[in-house]
Amino acid sequence: MAMNALNGEGQQGQVVVGVDVGGTTITAMVVDTSLQVCGQATQTTDKSTPQGTFKSIVATILQALEIGQTPLSQVKAAGIGIPGKVDPTTGTVHLAVNLNWNHIPAAEWFQQALGVPCYIENDLHLAALGYYHFFTDSSIQNMAYVSIGTGLAAGLILDGRLYRGAHGMAGEFGHIVMDPHGPTCNCGNRGCLEMYTAGPAYSRAGQEAVAQGKLLLPPEQANVTAVDVFNAAQSGNLAAQEIIHTAGAFLGRGLQILIMAYDVDKIILGGGVTRAGDLFRHAILDEWQRQASLSPLAAEMLKPEKLECAPLEHNAGAWGGVALAHNAFPHAVSPQRIANQRR
Ligand SMILES: [Zn+2]
């Protein structure tokens, strides 16, 4: 805890706040000019109404400030990641399905509530930005932060900059069609990559394995979750291990698309499905190895060291909020220069 930067009397604008808003929880982090965390708080996301969600985000920010014993008057700016389609120039959230937000002028709401400049960005874009600035070394200029949870998408850093695309939709590779006759996706299309690789794919395949008597559930439990499949695989259940291997191989092919399209140095995996552990990582690498054995091009591009799992405690999204608000500190230490200290 580096409180020293905050102790000077009359010093204004000594911290920034980074916030990661998820469908389940909100994390807010207060960071000083030397990029030390002085306060952090996590609260449950109130999804009762759009106003209720907004209030729970503000409450989390205020709690983090209180923990850091930092008055609001010392906050220079806040960077907030929202899971949805965001216009970062106006700070408007056009569509955030999980929060039930549609055409919400979020930057304006937060600025009115907090009285400081607030910047809004898509949560996954922010996670990519945060990971890039604080958890990679300066040799990395091109990377993809891939989140695998209920869905699959990537945040892209290309030539050292966040790449949003023409409509802020860059990285939505979970909806690349792998099989036009495959299962119907939430987006309406059929056979999207995420139908084979994201959390629901594990529970669907797990349910089939239960029906075939290859996987057992406690009698009181009706539905198989992805976590059930991960646990069964770790206890040695062959059907569960096969599910992880199949889904991981699909993801290996999906990540190959990203690598071939953007020539990234690193693929960082984040999100709940990474809890599937080593088996999952090996399934991806086995698929890359299979391709590498056939093709010198694949061997050159699909190097195992390009794949990295983000430790859960890294909180890349909130750090991305810090990076977004960071231009409030023109003379602060360059984030890249302290990157290795945070690895
Ligand atoms: Zn889809």
- Provide the percentage of residues in the chain whose pLDDT is more than 70: 91
Domain 4-116+314-342 has CATH 3.30.930.10: no
pLDDT value of residue 328: 55
Q: How far is the CA of 38 from the centre of ligand 1 (A)?
A: 40
Q: How far is the CA of 208 from the centre of ligand 1 (A)?
A: 22
The tokens describing 95, both together, are 């569509």
Torsion, CA 10, CA 14, CA 20, CA 26, rounded to 10: -30
Q: What is the mean pLDDT of the chain?
A: 89
SS3 331: coil
The pLDDT of residue 342 is above 50? no
pTM of the model: 0.87
**For residues 226-249, average pLDDT:** 94
pLDDT value of residue 12: 54
Fold agreement between 4-116+314-342 and 140-310: yes
pLDDT tens digits, 108-158 = 999 999 999 999 999 999 999 999 999 998 899 999 999 998 899 999 999
What residues pair up with 40 in beta bridges, in sequence order? 29
The arrangement of strands across the sheet holding 161-163 comes to 161-163, 152-158, 143-148, 266-270, 307-309
Q: How far is the CA of 182 from the centre of ligand 1 (A)?
A: 11
**For residues 90-116, average pLDDT:** 94
pLDDT tens digits, 14-65 = 899 999 999 889 999 999 988 899 999 999 999 999 999 999 999 999 999 9
Residue 261 burial class via C-beta count within 10 angstroms: exposed 0-12, middle 13-18, buried 19 and up: exposed
**For residues 167-183, average pLDDT:** 93
Q: How far is the CA of 135 from the centre of ligand 1 (A)?
A: 30
Is the Cβ–Cβ distance between 320 and 130 less than 8 Å?
yes
pLDDT value of residue 97: 85
- CATH placement of domain 140-310: 3.30.420.40
pLDDT class for 159, splitting at 50, 70, 90?
very high
Ranges of each domain in the chain: 4-116+314-342, 140-310
Pick the residue with more confidence: 209 or 276? Answer: 209
pLDDT value of residue 337: 40
C-alpha span between 161 and 79 (Å, rounded): 17
Q: How far is the CA of 150 from the centre of ligand 1 (A)?
A: 12
